[in-house]
Amino acid sequence: MQATTLQSGQPEPPPGQAAVPALALRNVQRSFGPIRILHDIGIELHAGEVHALIGENGAGKSTTMKIMSGYLAPSAGEILLDGVPVSFARSREAEARGVTLIHQEFNLAQLLSVEQNIFLGHELKRGWLLDHATMRAQTRDLLARLETPLDPRAQVSSISVPEKQMVEIAKALTRQARVLIMDEPTAALTNRETSVLFKQIERLKAEGVAILYTSHKLDEVARIADRVTVMRDGRIVRSALRGEMNEDQMAEAMVGRELSDMFPAKRPADGAPPVLEVQRFSVGDAVRDVSFTLRRGEILGFAGLVGSGRTELMEGLIGVRHSSGSVAINGAPVHLHSVEAAMAAGLVYLPEDRKEHGLILTQDMRRNLTLLALKKFSNLLVDKRAEEAALDRAIQEFDIRAPERSVLVGNLSGGNQQKLLLAKIMLADPQIVIIDEPTRGIDVGTKQQFYGFIHRLAGAGHSVIVISSEMTEVIGLCDRVAVMRRGRIAGEVQGMDVNEDTIVRLAMGLEKKGNSNG
């Protein structure tokens, strides 16, 4: 049975659910200068319910969440808390009223400890002094609940990306939120960590917390959401209750077209000459005695569990980490002791964390685009006209969508940031392109575009290494897959062996089906 749609654009609440939402937007608009980003948004969050908000990057989800949580004010329309109009002057005011946002991009102080980050701005005191013992004990309890065995005293800069995400979640849990807004909370999490998070979400639902959940992982949305709202181009285009939309229908509503053939047809590079040969390569304690070959025009995947050494291996190859072993490009030995040396040898790297290591968020697109290849655009002075021409080409080639050319990169959607970063590294004219988690935090439509970009690079003779934690991505995109386990290559698969069962068994150290020890 289809949900009855109200004038607000939302389905009627399920039987027994309170009619008055914990938090709602009514006819909300938001403009940046002359450009309208949101058009008459109406959305309701009810106590004890998970409401999924989905849409492509640039659809307006982040702006909607920021208005709900006090980071932005609406240009028109109302925010209602328990049915009463409110105005949040800033995010701290929203938090004080029980509305908390977990950011997709980490909002952590890198040089402070886990414990200090969790209680930052909400420190516990005993008299005039900070109550470190209680904060440390509560931090341990929160991390134990999230099954994340971290030392509360560990500096945030020293922990992994998934661990940082769990710290963000722990921080939110201390705020005793009535309304919890979760922006891509599982983007950096493993399947196990995602299951732990879902347990906490169920507990919060049972306690009456209203949850807004955004994710590009539509299988998660189908699993966890009580209702789904789809945004496209700053408007709500569809709302439905649990079970009324399957994953394909969600994806089609998001992009406004049918999605088929997500991955381009493979073109295996069998018989092509080797471009990169790595022998007995080690990186600190993370990678030991790894050897592999990459062929011209090949897309080589690196799969494995988090902590298997995939990223550390690539960071060693480009000179970010100290390494040992031999590397040859086009048959000639090379010594890649720095990013500059790797780039000069024709090897570039698109990092896992685009905001921390790939882009300067406070600069515009032109300056970000040309930074790696600045020598091409300067003699004594930077040739801004040539930079603008390069930006024209990048916008067209990679379909970078921005409200205006002068926009700061931090204000671009995640998908457009990733497109800009790919355009940036390609300005270096590389032979070998390493892409770490190419579609993390990117919507389904932009994923399809990105797979097309990678396929096109390989077709033009570039050799591509893809590190991905998404199994469908590894299987659908890569010609051959190297599977890492505990810092070593556990095996390589190609052809019909590029399947989930084979890859998972290698990653976990299990024997192939049908084998036994005796």
- Whether 23-255 shares its CATH topology with 261-346+430-511 is answered yes
Chain mean position to CA 122: 28
For residue range 16-59, what is the model confidence (pLDDT) as tens digits? 455 799 999 999 999 877 778 899 999 999 999 999 999 877 78
For residue range 116-135, what is the model confidence (pLDDT) as tens digits? 988 888 888 888 888 899 99
Residue spans of alpha helices (H) in 256-408:
310-317, 339-344, 365-370, 384-398
**Nearest one of 331, 257, 248 to 294, comparing CA atoms:** 331
- Low-confidence spans in the chain with pLDDT less than 70: 1-18, 105, 257-261, 355, 511-518
For residue range 465-479, what is the model confidence (pLDDT) as tens digits? 999 988 888 888 999
What local confidence, expressed as pLDDT, does residue 165 receive? 78
Burial class for 247, CB neighbours closer than 10 Å (0-12, 13-18, 19+): middle
- Residue 180 pairs in a beta bridge with 100, 211
- Between CA 278 and CA 293 the distance in angstroms is 6
Q: Please, are residues 401 and 446 in contact by the beta-carbon 8 Å criterion?
A: no
- Between CA 214 and CA 221 the distance in angstroms is 8
106 vs 134, 224, 353, 497, CA distance in Å? 25, 23, 10, 37
What does the angle CA 502 – CA 302 – CA 481 come to, to the nearest 5 degrees? Answer: 45
Per the prediction, the chain carries an average pLDDT of 86
Instruction: State the DSSP H helix or E strand holding residue 195, giving kind and residue range, or none if neither.
Output: helix 191-206
**Nearest one of 230, 226, 215 to 182, comparing CA atoms:** 215
Residue spans of alpha helices (H) in 318-383:
339-344, 365-370
**Nearest one of 302, 294, 275 to 482, comparing CA atoms:** 302
Give 360-364 contacts, CB < 8 A, sequence gap 24+. 360/409, 361/408, 361/409, 361/410, 362/408, 362/409, 362/410, 363/408, 363/409, 364/405, 364/406, 364/407, 364/408, 364/409
Q: Does domain 23-255 have CATH number 3.40.30.10?
A: no
What local confidence, expressed as pLDDT, does residue 40 receive? 94
- Residue 488 pairs in a beta bridge with 485
- Looking up tokens 């732990």 gives 196
Domain chopping of the chain, boundaries: 23-255, 261-346+430-511, 365-429
- Between CA 442 and CA 86 the distance in angstroms is 32
Q: Is 363 left (phi over 0), alpha (psi -120 to 50) or beta?
A: beta
Q: Please, are residues 146 and 195 in contact by the beta-carbon 8 Å criterion?
A: no
**Nearest one of 41, 259, 58 to 250, comparing CA atoms:** 259
* Pairing status of strand 50-54 against strand 274-283: unpaired
- Between CA 320 and CA 336 the distance in angstroms is 9
What local confidence, expressed as pLDDT, does residue 259 receive? 56
What local confidence, expressed as pLDDT, does residue 484 receive? 93
What local confidence, expressed as pLDDT, does residue 260 receive? 60
Q: Please, are residues 257 and 16 in contact by the beta-carbon 8 Å criterion?
A: no
- Between CA 82 and CA 302 the distance in angstroms is 49
Beta-carbon count within 10 A of 388 CB = 14
* Pairing status of strand 480-485 against strand 299-304: parallel
What local confidence, expressed as pLDDT, does residue 248 receive? 83
What local confidence, expressed as pLDDT, does residue 511 receive? 61
The SS3 assignment for 300 reads strand
For residue range 356-390, what is the model confidence (pLDDT) as tens digits? 777 888 889 998 898 888 888 887 788 889 989 99
- Looking up tokens 């599977």 gives 483
The arrangement of strands across the sheet holding 323-329 comes to 287-295, 274-283, 323-329, 332-334
Residue spans of alpha helices (H) in 2-126:
61-68, 91-96, 114-118
For residue range 237-277, what is the model confidence (pLDDT) as tens digits? 999 999 899 888 888 888 776 656 678 888 877 789 999 99
| Percent of the chain clearing pLDDT 90 (strictly above) | 45
Q: Does domain 261-346+430-511 have CATH number 1.10.3720.10?
A: no
What local confidence, expressed as pLDDT, does residue 146 receive? 81
Tokens of 506: 């290698």
